[in-house]
Structure 1
Amino acid sequence: MYLNKRGKAPNQAHVGIPEGLYEDEHGRDGFAGPVSHLYRTHPPTGWVQIDGALKPRAFVCTQVSITTTPSAATTPTLMMQSRDVRLYVRSSMETMAHFVRNADGDEVYFVHQGTGAFETDYGTLSYEPGDYVVIPKGTTYRTHVDAGPSLFLIVETPERILMPDRGPLGQHALFDKGVLVAPELGLVESAADQGLEWEVHIKRQGETTRVVYPFYPMDVVGWKGDLWVAKLNVRDFRPVTSPRYHLPPSVHATFQAGGCLISTFAPRPLESDPEALHVPFYHRNTDYDEVLFYHQGDFFSRAGIRPGMLTLHPQGIHHGPQPQAVQASKGKTHTSEVAVMIESKTPFTVRPEMEAAEIVDYALSWSR
């Protein structure tokens, strides 16, 4: 359809919104398809009651493993899943006694807490808070914990993890592939013991096969190729910004796997144009369920958010800043937040066990 316009609406989206009106973006294909902007007299999140499957939800991930899975030190806790992606949280206090291998899909570990190392087929890779560690499907590995607890958000995708096409921005935008860190070969000191048996637990279709070796399975002495375990820290992520226009969240896309998108919100300068919107605009997540994991900083688009929390906003229900955040943003020049967004083309189903870590009144917080 062709561009049309009716009533009281500015010519430029996200800029010069008339006083007392609220911009609501109605679009398709995330933020890349056809779109219109509706200018309302009330915030579209100003509801007083929500009943049904589309109710926004929030969870405290630091409580999940304590309240739901006593053995979470070695077994991740499944929080929610769709056909495109599964989300887990894992809390570890000590080094894993056995190795694991995921035959169901690629994994992206995001490190929220702790330091240590991933010991893999490709060598050893240290980790610290703010690290993404991408582990290809079929890789054998285990984690060593230096200073616990270590808390990981784990994204599992049946499709291969790729870097999105940057289009006109070029392949070096957001981060250059040169900043990716590869593992270093070499046995860890604890592996020097001979005569021990070692277990590898292989996951396939949610079931585990246990394989026992009479030798240390991390015996690779060399490798070459373009499929390997890689690490990216959020401090090496360079957000794309515009001084006169609030860019959509899609410009922060970090990884992609089929219908799953993983994006990074890192500290960045805000728009300097006094008429430009500073906070995320209201939208209804059409075509994608949206999950946000809050890692650190001041989450300026709304109050009540703490590091280690995770929110779910299903497609079809509105999402945006708290009204008071719009006013508060006008005096700010930078963001200080670090958050990870996971979007799914197909709807998420939340596991019943997550209710123990849920913030019950979160859905009503948008109108406060």
Structure 2
Amino acid sequence: MENFKSSGIHTKQAHVKVPEGHFEEEHGRDGFFGRVSHLYHQKPPVGWSNIEGDLKPRCQPPMYDNAAKNEFITILSNDDVVLNIGHYTESFKNFYRSADFDEMYFIHDGTGTIETVYGHLDYVKGDYIVIPRGTTYKLYLKTETKIFKVESRSEFEQPERGMLGPNALYDQTAIVVPTAAYGSEQDKKEYKVEIKRLGRITTVTYPYNPLCVSGWKGSVYPFKLSIYDFCPVMSHRYHMPPSAHTTFVCKNFVVCSFVERPLEDSSHGVLKVPFYHSNIDFDEVLFYHQGNFFSRDNIDAGALTFHPQGIHHGPHPKAFKNSESKTFTDEFAVMIDAKRPLIPSEWFMKNENKDYWKSWF
């Protein structure tokens, strides 16, 4: 049992009726799933005048304009998870199989089909496509496709619903699985499968299409879920923490979906914008998919922000005023909260907006 204590000025309910002239900070453990305290500052925790060192909040402007075409580019990584972007204008040349990672493709834009050994999955904008490690597949484009790809050392599992019941967040009927089907290409003399193991590629050649499975059964299979089918947990009298938007759970990181929803009722004194927080156990990455990201200045679709553990973060100064008249948010974003520190790639450091940390001035 938690042993709550208090001292000085504080609220009866977190995120509700913050004392006038004060700014609430949530000091939480275990990525909003653990113990927590709230501190009431007379000055905003992000009111810095300078930052020297590695903990500056970091931002990638819309990334796909700077990315090489038809390959995945790593942007952030640790021993549990690798975050990549891909801007594809043509289909995969060969089939692919990862022996290193389970994979999740988030389709930022585009249409096409992923043909797998389990069958085919058509994709459109906003689809999460989860591909278990060891699955052979090939990406076929119908239109130019922009992907946010997450590689995981562990499986992508569904979150516990607990008292919300099994149909909360997304119903099981919202999950689409492949119908068994052979690969569509049947006229080639040879078919190559690129297999990734320990970061190196082994190429295996077959005289037939390797997607030649007549049927399947079991509990390991690719599937897709649309971010537009995610049903957020809401309250007009309480600002839900990011953990309430958890979509997939992996070892040492989670994937959350922020989607359009009614905002909290200001007549009850509830914060509409994200609260300032020091999520000390997790690095936070937010990929902006579409909509009006009213808690951030100068952030557009296809951008990404990275806030390392140890530095406060929260809404930009204009967000509080911008939220006063808003009753609804139309933003869609994907969040990765990682327990181990994430390391930016050379590509990330070359292309980032190095003045992003100044946007709280």
Q: TM-score range by the shorter chain?
A: over 0.9
| Alignment pair present for 1:172 and 2:149 | no
Contact 1:116 1:147 in 2 (8 A): yes
SS in 2 for 1:147: coil
Shift of 1:32: 2.1
What is aligned with 2:60? Answer: 59
Alignment of 1:231-242 (within 5 A): 231-242=224-235
| Alignment pair present for 1:185 and 2:186 | no
Contact 1:76 1:89 in 2 (8 A): yes
Shift of 1:351: 0.6
Letter in 1 for 2:270: A
RMSD (Å), alpha carbons? 1.2
| Alignment pair present for 1:223 and 2:225 | no
Task: Write out the 4+ residue segments of structure 1 that deviate beyond 3 Å after TM superposition.
Answer: none
Shift of 1:273: 4.4
| Alignment pair present for 1:330 and 2:324 | yes
Contact 2:118 2:181 in 1 (8 A): no
Tell me which of 125, 128, 135 is aligned to 2:124.
128
Aligned residues: 358
Q: Deviations over 1:165-189 (max 9, x none)?
A: 1111122110011110112333354
| Alignment pair present for 1:23 and 2:41 | no
SS in 2 for 1:284: strand
What is aligned with 1:154? Answer: 149
Tell me which of 288, 294, 297 is aligned to 2:291.
297
Q: What is the TM-score normalised by the length of structure 1? A: 0.95
Contact 1:26 1:38 in 2 (8 A): yes
Q: Deviations over 1:247-289 (max 9, x none)?
A: 1000000001110100000001111242011111000121000
What is aligned with 2:79? Answer: 83
| Alignment pair present for 1:355 and 2:349 | yes
Shift of 1:142: 1.1
Which stretches in structure 2 are left out of the alignment for 5+ residues? none
| Alignment pair present for 1:202 and 2:195 | yes
Distance in 1 between residues matched to 2:193 and 2:7, nearest whole Å? 63
What is aligned with 1:344? Answer: 338
Higher mean alpha-carbon deviation, 325-334 vs 288-297, is at 325-334
Q: What is the TM-score normalised by the length of structure 2? A: 0.96
Distance in 2 between residues matched to 1:208 and 1:271, nearest whole Å? 50
Higher mean alpha-carbon deviation, 356-365 vs 128-137, is at 356-365
Distance in 1 between residues matched to 2:140 and 2:303, nearest whole Å? 25
Contact 1:285 1:313 in 2 (8 A): no
Distance in 1 between residues matched to 2:197 and 2:309, nearest whole Å? 29
Q: Give percent identity, aligned residues only.
A: 46
| Alignment pair present for 1:211 and 2:212 | no
Shift of 1:221: 1.1
Distance in 2 between residues matched to 1:187 and 1:227, nearest whole Å? 18
Distance in 2 between residues matched to 1:112 and 1:199, nearest whole Å? 28
What is aligned with 1:107? Answer: 103
Letter in 2 for 1:31: F
